[in-house]
Amino acid sequence: MPVALITGASAGLGLALTRALSGQGWTLVIDARGEDALRRVAEETGARAIAGDIADPAHRAELATAAGPELDLLVNNASTLGPSPLPKLGGYPLDELAAVYRVDVFAPLALSQLVLPALIAAKGTIINVSSDAAVEAYEGWGGYGSAKAALDQLTAVLGVENPELAVYAFDPGDMRTAMHQRAFPGEDISDRPEPETVVPAFLRLLGGRAPSGRYQASKL
């Protein structure tokens, strides 16, 4: 059975992907900060759950060890929005911005570095979950959006440097998630699609072995 490591798997898109890959017979290692929620996902899907902060080097090392030497897929899905309500860049607290970059940029790269030998041996896949805020200028989204733009560029270069891998930035579009709700406090976001609706596009990308690059769910 193929092996996948999925971060941020206790809710939203990460949970939807965990359920989908579990249903296809994948062996899964999953991570999230919330131990109770992650345990429930593990009980449902049979995944091995390791709770912790993806920005913590010791936690990343534990995930890489658990994934083992036969890893086929890394999904860097865990991310943080930053302050809510979203601040404009002119007054964005720099310590908060640094925290966003630690989770959304440095942690995915650091985890990729740890598991790269296994993925190269398997001719595997890295999928970094991006956002349309990485390529569009939305007021208030400068912190999160610039972090995702940096992740997109890291993804692109990693793909060029490792042609034996499939390395994708996957933009799922707007979804009805807790993080998206934090971006719009007090607003009704029930018109956004559920994360499960994005899973078929993800699976098409994963199964199609397209060239490394950036892909939007709406165009897959």
Kindly report the average pLDDT of the chain as a whole number. 95
pLDDT digits (tens, 9 = 90+) for 160-202: 999 999 999 999 987 777 777 786 788 787 888 899 999 999 9
pLDDT digits (tens, 9 = 90+) for 70-115: 999 999 999 999 999 999 999 999 999 999 999 999 999 999 999 9
For residue 219, CA distances in Å to 168, 191, 200 come to 14, 20, 12
pTM above 0.75, yes or no: yes
Reply yes or no on whether the pLDDT at 5 is more than 80. yes
The domains of the chain, with CATH numbers, are 3-219 (3.40.50.720)
Task: Judge contact between 106 and 37, C-beta under 8 A.
Answer: no
Query: What pLDDT does residue 96 have?
Result: 97
Copy the structure tokens of residue 118. 């296994």
Query: What pLDDT does residue 123 have?
Result: 98
Query: What pLDDT does residue 190 have?
Result: 81
Residue 143: count of CB within 10 angstroms of its CB: 27
- Please tell me the chain's helix, strand, coil percentages from 3-state DSSP, rounded to the nearest 5: 50, 15, 35
Across residues 35-55, what is the average pLDDT? 97
Across residues 47-76, what is the average pLDDT? 98
pLDDT digits (tens, 9 = 90+) for 115-145: 999 999 999 999 999 999 999 999 999 999 9
**Which string of DSSP letters, residue by residue, matches 4-64?**
EEESS-SSHHHHHHHHHHHHTT-EEEEEES-HHHHHHHHHHH-PEEEES-TT-HHHHHHHH
